[in-house]
Amino acid sequence: MPSNPVAALSIDRLTTAAPSGDRSALGRVTVLALVGVLLGAMIISMTTGASGASSGSVMASWFGLAPADEMQALRDHAVIYNIRLPRMVLGMLIGAALAMSGLLMQGLFRNPLADPGLVGVSAGAGLGAVGIIVLGTTALAPLTAFLGIYTLQLASFAGGLITTFILYRVATRAGQTAIATMLLAGIALGALAGAITGVLVYIATDSQLRDLTFWGLGSLSGANWTKVMASGPIILAALVAAGFMSRGLNALTLGEATAGHLGIPVQRFKRVVVVAVAAATGASVAVSGGIGFVGIVVPHLLRLVIGPDHRYLLPASALLGASFLLLADAISRIVVAPAELPIGIVTAAVGGPFFLWILLRKRAAFAW
């Protein structure tokens, strides 16, 4: 980030001079509108579920009103505070983290196809998590005992960080990132991580296989306050760090050489982005499994609406990503109630066709 305010102002002016004009006002309005969308998604998430628990009875208890049925009020209180509230918080954090991770990778590689799921980062994070699930009580028992409740999150973070670092080193030469090399290296790394994960799945026990199957499809069904406390601080730290990266990402859209001339410490900035992406993706994958399309659909949709200025893309992506995952989770609980669909199926079913529709509708003007 530039320390010179004149340089910072130059970056914003250079990168917000879109062909369609200044979109700053539209960006601010969109961010405010997305705050309203997130509030609506939170209400839907809190009032949706197979138990039929009423948020009204809990709100009545907040204001000291006597419930009509005390036993039902106690049950509703337990369902909402111990199941729905941690699930909603975790869904918001993971949705924001996945959308921000996609946006950061697209800014880092200056390529709209970059996404933690497409370039193998999610597969690497998944490998770390699967390793702990399968070997956590045998070969990796000392590590599990030492790290406690943070073992799964830190193992997933390490897997994502190592994959991202290898991807960056392979795709970058003399300070320039080759996009084709990056995508091909991502495919190769994802395949390698998948092969090792396959070996671990092969030696897993029957109970571990069931856990791994549902974990691989993505789900928030196991959300609780322990998972929120284990993953939340890591995801929040990555989100806060990403909030200070808008000028650096805007400068990178002009090329690394130009970004350097504008006062951005390019190499250090790219390392910070890599760590933030690995932390957000790893902590998310560890508790929710593989949830696709959030990181690529959300930034693309917003970029088509408000343009390429990361000052607005970053908060807008976090808000829309959180809202998208909360709504997808609500759908997963409604479609086959009282059972639940894995949320990864819902995001793929909704995100895939929607993404194709965007491409077909905007392909003439699609330029990044």
Contact 317, 97 (CB under 8 A): no
Three-state SS for 299-338 is HHHHHHHHCCCHHHHHHHHHHHHHHHHHHHHHHHHHCCCC
Please name the helix (run of DSSP H) or strand (run of DSSP E) that holds residue 177, with its range, or none: strand 176-177
Decide: pTM greater than 0.85: no
The torsion defined by the Cα of 87, 89, 91 and 97, in degrees rounded to 10, comes to -150
- Phi/psi region, residue 65 (left: phi>0; alpha: psi -120 to 50; beta: rest), is beta
Q: Give the pLDDT of residue 365.
A: 53
| Block residue for tokens 């957000």 | 280
User: What contacts 317, CB < 8 A, 6 or more positions away?
Assistant: 96, 99, 100, 102, 103, 298, 299, 302
Write down the pLDDT at residue 10. Answer: 54
Contact in structure between 298 and 350 (CB atoms under 8 Å): no
Q: If phi over 0 gives left and psi between -120 and 50 gives alpha, with beta otherwise, what is residue 339?
A: beta
Contacts of 233 (CB under 8 A, 6+ apart): none
- Per-residue pLDDT of 259-273, as tens digits, reads 888 888 887 888 788
pLDDT of residue 240: 93
Per-residue pLDDT of the chain (368 residues; tens, 9 = 90+): 444 554 555 555 555 554 445 667 888 888 999 999 999 999 888 887 766 666 666 666 556 565 566 677 677 777 778 888 899 999 999 999 999 988 998 888 777 767 777 677 778 888 888 888 888 777 777 777 777 767 777 787 788 888 888 887 887 776 666 667 777 888 888 888 888 888 888 888 877 777 777 677 777 877 888 888 888 888 999 999 998 988 888 888 887 788 888 888 887 888 788 888 888 887 888 788 778 788 888 888 888 888 888 889 999 999 999 999 999 988 888 887 777 788 888 888 877 787 777 667 666 555 54
Nearby residues of 65 by Cβ (< 8 Å), 6 or more positions away: none
By C-alpha distance, which of 351, 321, 326 is closest to 49?
A: 326
Residue 167 phi, psi dihedral angles, 5° rounding: -60, -45
Positive or negative, the CA dihedral 153, 158, 164, 168 is positive
Residue 67: is the preceding peptide bond cis (ω within 30°)?
no
What was the pLDDT predicted at 54? 62
Whole-number pLDDT of residue 368: 46
Alpha-carbon distance of 232 to 39, in angstroms, equals 19
Residues with Cβ within 8 Å of 200's Cβ and at least 6 positions away in sequence, in order, are 127, 130, 131, 134, 135
